[in-house]
């Protein structure tokens, strides 16, 4: 399975963020999954891709040309696609993904996983969409989606398409439940 993972180009201020990215990457590599990610060799992206590759897996980076130098693209990837723009990068990561996961990250991570949720609502993406709420990181975002339902801006069926997990076993279950996970 190609798993598109959105995550930070920074490591955050708690060791658990890097540890979780490494654990996820090791699981992906050991289980024959391909990482699709932003292509960076820094932050959680770097920790994740390092672990995938160290575990014998494949890592497919997608990075716009203007970020190749700025974020120091990860060398040694299975594939590095260089795009002309951020929209082209995002579209390509969506096209390549069979499932979508958000590890902790900043505004770009939130924007990318929110786009997946919008595309799921429109029927344009069918793979699982999972927020990996490491140390409660996405609890407030999950509550915001719940409020959208409560206030009539989203349906319970749409909200059910977003899994929120806090452990790797829960993530694995969310990824293997299929289209509406």
Q: What is the mean pLDDT of the chain?
A: 93
pLDDT attached to residue 176: 84
Residues 6+ apart with CB under 8 A from 68: 39, 82
The domain limits of the chain are 2-172
Query: Model confidence over 92-105: pLDDT tens digits?
Result: 999 999 999 999 99
Are the beta carbons of 156 and 121 closer than 8 angstroms? no
pLDDT at 181 over 80: no
pLDDT attached to residue 177: 75
Taking the CA atoms of 103, 108, 112 and 117 in sequence, report the sign of the dihedral they define. positive
CATH architecture of residue range(s) 2-172: 3-Layer(aba) Sandwich (3.40)
pTM for the full predicted model: 0.94
pLDDT attached to residue 179: 47
Query: Model confidence over 16-47: pLDDT tens digits?
Result: 999 999 999 999 999 999 999 999 889 999 99
pLDDT attached to residue 75: 83
Q: For residue 178, how many other CB atoms are within 10 A of its CB?
A: 11
Query: Model confidence over 110-121: pLDDT tens digits?
Result: 999 999 999 998
Q: What is the DSSP letter of 73?
A: B
């Amino acid at each position: 399975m190609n798993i598109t993972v959105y995550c930070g180009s920074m490591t955050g201020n708690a060791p658990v963020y890097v540890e979780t990215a490494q654990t996820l990457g090791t699981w992906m590599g050991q289980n024959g999954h391909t990482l699709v990610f932003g292509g960076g060799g820094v932050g959680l992206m770097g920790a994740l891709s390092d672990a995938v590759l160290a575990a014998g897996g494949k890592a497919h980076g997608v990075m716009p040309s203007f970020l190749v130098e700025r974020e120091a693209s990860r060398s040694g990837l299975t594939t590095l696609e260089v795009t002309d723009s951020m929209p082209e990068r995002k579209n390509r990561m969506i096209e390549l993904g069979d499932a979508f996961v958000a590890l902790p990250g900043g505004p770009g991570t939130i924007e990318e996983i929110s786009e997946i949720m919008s595309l799921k609502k429109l029927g344009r993406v069918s793979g699982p969409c999972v927020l990996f709420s490491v140390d409660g990181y996405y609890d407030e975002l999950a509550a915001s989606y719940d409020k959208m339902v409560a206030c009539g801006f989203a349906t319970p069926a749409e909200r059910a398409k977003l899994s929120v997990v806090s452990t790797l076993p829960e993530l694995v279950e969310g990824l293997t439940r299929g289209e509406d996970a």
